[in-house]
Chains A and B, each alone.
Chain A
Amino acid sequence: MQTPIIRTEKLIKQFGGNRAVNGVSLDVASGTLHSIIGPNGAGKTTLFNLLTKDFPPTSGRIILYGEDITREPPHAVARRGVGRSYQITSVFQNMTLAQNVWVALYRRERQGFLNFWRHADLDASLREEATEILSRVRLDERTDRLASELSYGDQRLLEIAVTLATKPRVLLLDEPTAGLSHEETESVSRLIAALKGRYSILMIEHKMDVVMGVSDRVSVMHFGSMIAEGTPEEVARDPEVRKAYLGS
């Protein structure tokens, strides 16, 4: 088998007396869309926070394309090509759409931030690329608007655009449709379907219809542990999953 793009080995995160992530071993195969489902409080977002090193794990290992990243700081993990979108929208509210994308592009294309003299907007190639990336999520008509002026759904699209601008090797999407209306969910789902195959994607999602249609593999998390993994059909049939997650 190919080296998995992300592998975790017996990952544990302890918060006081609560073990939010309890010995999770997970393999995400390259090029696939792998979803993690589970009830609220199952530890899904905490698992993501461990993968991006927002928190250090209590024990266990995280391996990215065969390399151990368990001890690396968050920005180093990002530089290895892990792009993430957050559950709570994380755009730069008081910056324009183009500037939001620019921050991601600049890191990737120009290396470092120690340029003090050039005006940031004078780099024509970055400007064009920002517009191109925004056009992928159909926000290129509003490049000079502030992010705070966008609707919640459009902010989520912007956030995904910013993540794509880092040219990630693997995308971590944390509930990309959380809090969205029906139409907005549709448009984000279409975007995810379009991204599938071009990126390796690990996605946390609550809405079953979003997950089942698009995922190659589904893992089910419950009380910090993985209780099942398989194709969407296998998982949907699993009696334990039905008991834990679907409540039937």
Chain B
Amino acid sequence: MNPKTPRRDLLLRTALLAAIAAVSPLLMPTKIAAEILICAIFACATNLLIGYGGLFTFGQAAFYGLGGYAAGFLMARFGLPWPVPLVAGLLMGAVSSAIIGAFCIRRTGIYFIMMTFAFNQMIYYLAYTFRNITGGEDGLVGIKRPPFGLPGMKPLNLDNPTYFYIFVAAIFLVSVLALFRIVESPFGRVLVATRENPRRVASLGYSVSRVQLVAFMISGAFTGLAGALYAMLYWIMPIDAVHWLSSGYVVFTVLIGGTSNMFGPIIGAGIFIWLQGFFSTLWARWPLLFGAFVVIVVLFVQGGVIELFRRLAGLLGGRERAGAS
């Protein structure tokens, strides 16, 4: 490989992500655009496990919810500076996914899926039970967005939709670029190898369970961060966010968009939130449309919507790039 390619990819990627973040609020209400970016972080973090690790988790909402509760609790009760709730969400996601992941990776296939699902349900009922922290069924209310400030700068009120959107967009940009880099790093390549053939990876001297556990933690950290932003978005952390349905939706989101690189889940998040945001107001049965969309994509566009873009790029003469590594 040409050693300049990673640099060119980084520039191209940053430009594309910035363009996505800049154009979205022109096409839809900023609130929905912000929700898309938050969902995109969630979906990209999930794709680290699904697409790159081959770990079909149906329990990501647990980390999303825990991250959101941790951040939301701090924002509702204490007036802490803006980085604190974000770091709390991130750490909560990382720690909880380390604990839950350590159990789940002991099994593979359907048993792995069932474990992630079971833990998600447990966390949901814990959230349901500890209502003095989580608000139970009513959701965690009274969340206040902290003002955003940097040293030598007048603090910005994040209750202003534009400022809040820019804040979310900046975190989106940093998170997704970090995930892009992680999947291209030595760690990312070893993770892809464990997806391809775990036994072979062990026979080359890697501890497969350790690689998978680290993947879980990274995914959980970014998922928790997304959860923290979600708690800010509507000033409430609803219990639905931690329900396993939310885990299912994020898996669909990833599959619709495509798992082969991190742009896939972003496209998926756009489609999912857009369908939800627009059709839910017109028609209460909007998940039917979403279901139809999933079926169409799975049947006709294997590899997700991103595959269409790739084919298009192929037709335009760009050489298709190999592999998901």
Contacts and interface: CB of A to CB of B under 8 A. Distances in A.
B186 A92 contact: no
A132 interface: no
B118 to A, nearest CB: 26
A119 B197 contact: no
Nearest to A105: B204
Nearest to B260: A94
B184 interface: yes
B3 A124 contact: yes
Contact of A113 (B181, B187, B203, B325): B187
Interface in B273-322: 322
Contacts, number: 117
Looking at chain B's contact residues, the main secondary structure is: helix
Contacts of B323: 94-96, 99, 146
Interface in A167-221: none
Contacts of A39: none
A118 interface: yes
Interface in A75-104: 75, 78-79, 83-84, 86, 90-96, 99, 102-104
B214 A114 contact: yes
A90 B200 contact: yes
Interface string A152-167: 0000000000100010
B195 to A, nearest CB: 9
B31 interface: no
Given A54-B199, A117-B181, A162 B204 contact: yes
A115 interface: yes
B100 interface: no
Interface in B77-120: none
A74 B187 contact: no
B201 A103 contact: yes
**In the complex, which of the residues A108, A119, A121, A145 has the most CB atoms of chain B within 10 Å of its own CB atom?**
A119
B13 interface: no
Given A114-B187, A162-B204, A90 B197 contact: yes
A121 B3 CA distance: 8
Band of interface residues on A: 35 or more
A102 B190 CA distance: 9
Interface in B151-184: 181-182, 184
Contacts of A74: 199, 202-203
Contacts of B196: 92-95
Contacts of A90: 197, 199-200, 203
B96 to A, nearest CB: 20
Contacts of A93: 196
A104 B202 CA distance: 10
Interface string A126-160: 01000000000000000011100000000000000
A107 B197 contact: no
Nearest to B9: A119
B142 interface: no
Interface in B200-233: 200-208, 210-211, 214, 218
A127 B1 CA distance: 9
A122 interface: yes
A144 B322 CA distance: 9
B324 A113 contact: no
Interface of A: 52, 54, 73-75, 78-79, 83-84, 86, 90-96, 99, 102-104, 106-108, 110, 113-122, 124, 127, 144-146, 162, 166
15 contacts: A74-B202, A75-B203, A78-B205, A92-B197, A94-B196, A94-B323, A95-B192, A103-B189, A106-B190, A116-B185, A120-B184, A121-B3, A121-B6, A121-B184, A144-B1
The 4 lowest CB-CB distance pairs between A and B, nearest first, are: A78-B205, A92-B196, A119-B6, A74-B202
Given A73-B207, A122-B3, 17 more contacts: A74-B199, A75-B202, A75-B207, A90-B203, A91-B197, A92-B192, A94-B323, A95-B193, A96-B323, A103-B189, A103-B193, A104-B204, A106-B190, A116-B181, A119-B6, A120-B184, A121-B3
Interface of B: 1, 3, 5-6, 181-182, 184-190, 192-193, 196-197, 199-208, 210-211, 214, 218, 322-325
